[in-house]
């Protein structure tokens, strides 16, 4: 006989959700009777799983937040971008099937953003910036160049005019858009009297955010070395990032200057900063350095560049390249080196502390007070000044020249136009560079192209890239600032002036011929090669954004 059913059957048991941590613990909880090694292995396995999930969660959260902020920035910038293209009337170019991939990408109007907060400084770094802008606009008719600068006190027309007079670069003003940045003080060394490296690095992050919040580019090119902007731009906007590195923020040889017994805190600070710098550099898709010295150091410091490529949607990492700065050597190489030169020692360098003008003045004073100096020997210091700090520097150098008793032999030429610079290069005998580990030295290239005999410090780019033997014979001289050395600057200058006219002419001819590799044409060719890669990456990133439903 069938048992009667209960009038109030009990409901089925509700399914309870077990927290992930509890589930993992119940799964991997070691048996107390197991051996110690077995329990340690289980604990390590559990730690690895939890750590991996945590990192993955943080990474996905960052990506989601970055995508949201990036979408808002793009929508905010859309009106500005539209007005730029309408005002500049960019032409539509039909891409021929035989054209390269880079030129096909150029058929769509793009904005190439150059991040250069001191674009009006008039130095070698600015020559690289404007030469890259000129080559970009000349090759890609639908490209617009946006310059992110903190030079808020000058108008675009004044900037373009200075570029023309200082570098003889004629730009298409209608296709250049200036984005003025109000927070440049955050990257000024004077803002960070303590922990200057870290302060400037972190200060570049809000400055970079200000830049992309005012105008979102299609390609981001940093030509001043603010690497800490790369993660910001790459994660928020998902666009290709290029770096033209003049000088690494921190280099391996800096650690050798510290004593672990007396400077341990500074050593630790630099090591931590080097790790941060390596992480930031990993977000650069195209890395170009200005010479061998910078190339060797940046390749050593940015060791994370390839390891993190897959983690941040950059499956196609490219090797670092050396691209010598454009030095305008063509006109200088036309100078007649057989004509007699005046006893002028020439220095072309911005009036900054690291250029070590005081060493030039002190050593030149020794030359003037010796029997080796020709009659009426002069020292001409040509350079630009960026701010009050540089102007104070010039004032102090003038006082030093007076104290050394060589005031009548020294001339300061500030903010010289290119024609005036060429006149000095045409008549001077010797070119001097005293900076330690100068990253490159465009002024030194100008010396060699004009047929001057260069006397440079035995370090950095001048020694490794520029004043190098040509056909097995020297093109200039080196000097050292170490104590108890015979190769002083004064001694090297004396050696030059003691050469016979024929020997001097041989040096000048070799130097002038060796300068061909620093021509504007070579720079344009190398830059456009890198730009084609950037435009291909830009197309890849744009398709990726569209596929994820983000603004293009």
Residue 136 near residue 113, CB atoms below 8 Å: no
pLDDT of res. 399: 96
Question: What is the arrangement of strands in the sheet containing 241-245, beginning at the earlier edge strand?
Answer: 176-180, 143-149, 110-115, 219-222, 241-245, 286-289, 321-322
How many CB atoms neighbour CB 481 within 10 A? 16
What gap in Å lies between CA 240 and CA 306, rounded to an integer? 15
CA atoms within 13 A on the CB side of 450: 24
Cross-strand partners of 470: 473
pLDDT of res. 12: 53
Residues 6+ apart with CB under 8 A from 357: 347, 349, 351, 381, 393, 397, 434
> How far, CA to CA in Å, does 407 sit from each of 271, 369, 428?
44, 13, 19
Angle at 276 between CA 272 and CA 280, to 5 degrees: 170
Q: What is the dihedral angle through the alpha carbons of 509, 515, 516, 522, rounded to the nearest 10 degrees?
A: 180
Residue 176 near residue 160, CB atoms below 8 Å: yes
The pTM for the full model equals: 0.78
Dmax over Cα atoms in the chain, in whole Å? 135
Mean pLDDT per 10-residue segment, the chain (552 residues): 52 53 59 66 77 83 87 91 77 42 59 96 89 95 94 94 90 94 94 91 96 96 96 94 93 80 88 93 92 91 72 56 88 91 94 94 94 92 88 95 94 91 95 91 92 94 93 94 84 94 95 91 94 92 83 70
pLDDT tens readout for residues 9-43 = 555 544 555 565 565 556 556 566 656 676 677 77
Residue 202 near residue 238, CB atoms below 8 Å: no
- What backbone torsions phi and psi does residue 353 show, to the nearest 5 degrees? -60, -40
pLDDT tens readout for residues 343-354 = 999 999 989 899
What gap in Å lies between CA 213 and CA 148, rounded to an integer? 11
Q: How many H-runs (helices) and E-runs (strands) does the chain carry?
A: 19, 13
Helix (H, G, I), strand (E, B) or coil at 160: helix
The secondary structure of residue 321, as a DSSP letter, is: E
Residue 231 near residue 308, CB atoms below 8 Å: no
Residue 425 near residue 335, CB atoms below 8 Å: yes
pLDDT of res. 227: 96
């Amino acid at each position: 006989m069938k048992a009667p059913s209960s009038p109030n059957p009990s409901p089925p048991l509700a399914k309870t959700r077990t927290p992930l941590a509890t589930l993992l613990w119940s799964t991997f909880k070691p048996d107390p009777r197991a051996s110690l090694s077995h329990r340690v292995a289980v604990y390590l396995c559990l730690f690895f799983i939890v750590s991996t999930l945590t990192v993955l969660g943080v990474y996905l959260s960052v990506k989601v937040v970055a995508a949201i902020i990036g979408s808002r920035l793009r929508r905010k910038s859309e009106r500005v971008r539209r007005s730029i293209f309408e005002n500049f009337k960019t032409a539509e170019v039909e891409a021929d099937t035989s054209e390269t991939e880079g030129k096909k990408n150029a058929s769509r109007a793009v904005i190439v953003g150059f991040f250069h907060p001191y674009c009006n400084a008039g130095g070698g770094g600015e020559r690289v910036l404007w030469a890259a802008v000129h080559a970009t606009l000349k090759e890609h008719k639908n490209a617009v160049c946006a310059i992110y600068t903190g030079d808020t006190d000058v108008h675009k027309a004044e900037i373009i005019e200075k570029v023309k007079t200082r570098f003889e670069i004629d730009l298409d003003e209608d296709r250049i858009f200036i984005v003025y940045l109000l927070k440049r003080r955050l990257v000024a060394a004077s803002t960070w009297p303590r922990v200057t490296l870290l302060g400037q690095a972190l200060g570049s992050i809000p400055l970079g955010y200000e830049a992309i919040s005012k105008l979102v580019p299609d390609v981001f090119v940093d030509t001043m070395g603010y690497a800490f902007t790369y993660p910001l731009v790459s994660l928020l906007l998902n666009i290709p990032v290029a770096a033209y590195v003049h000088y690494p923020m921190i280099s391996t040889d800096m650690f050798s200057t510290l004593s672990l017994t007396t400077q341990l805190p500074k050593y630790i600070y630099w090591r931590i900063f080097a790790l941060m710098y390596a992480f930031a550099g990993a977000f650069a898709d195209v890395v170009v350095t200005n010479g061998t010295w910078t190339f060797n150091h940046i390749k050593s410091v940015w060791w994370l560049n390839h390891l993190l490529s897959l983690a941040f949607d950059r499956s196609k990492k490219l090797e670092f390249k050396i691209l010598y700065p454009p030095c305008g050597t063509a006109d200088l190489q036309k100078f007649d080196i057989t004509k007699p030169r005046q006893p002028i020692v020439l220095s072309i360098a911005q009036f900054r502390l690291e250029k070590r003008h005081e060493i030039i003045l002190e050593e030149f004073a020794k030359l003037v007070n010796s029997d080796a100096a020709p009659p009426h020997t002069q020292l001409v210091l040509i350079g630009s000044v960026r701010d009050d700090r540089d102007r104070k520097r010039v004032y102090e150098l003038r006082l030093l020249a007076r104290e050394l008793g060589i005031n009548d032999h020294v001339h300061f030429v500030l903010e010289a136009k290119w024609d005036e610079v060429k006149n000095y290069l045409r008549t001077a005998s010797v070119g001097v560079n005293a900076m330690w580990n100068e990253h490159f030295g465009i002024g030194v290239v100008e010396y060699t192209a004009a047929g001057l005999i260069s006397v440079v410090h035995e370090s950095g780019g001048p020694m490794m890239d520029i004043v190098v033997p040509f056909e097995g014979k020297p093109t200039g001289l080196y000097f050292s600032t170490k104590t108890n050395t015979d190769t002083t600057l004064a001694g090297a200058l004396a050696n030059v002036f003691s050469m016979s006219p024929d020997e001097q002419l041989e040096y000048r001819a070799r130097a002038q011929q060796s300068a061909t590799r620093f021509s504007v044409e070579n720079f344009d060719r190398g830059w456009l090669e890198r730009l084609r890669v950037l435009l291909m990456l830009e197309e890849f990133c744009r398709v990726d954004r569209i596929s994820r439903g983000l603004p293009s």
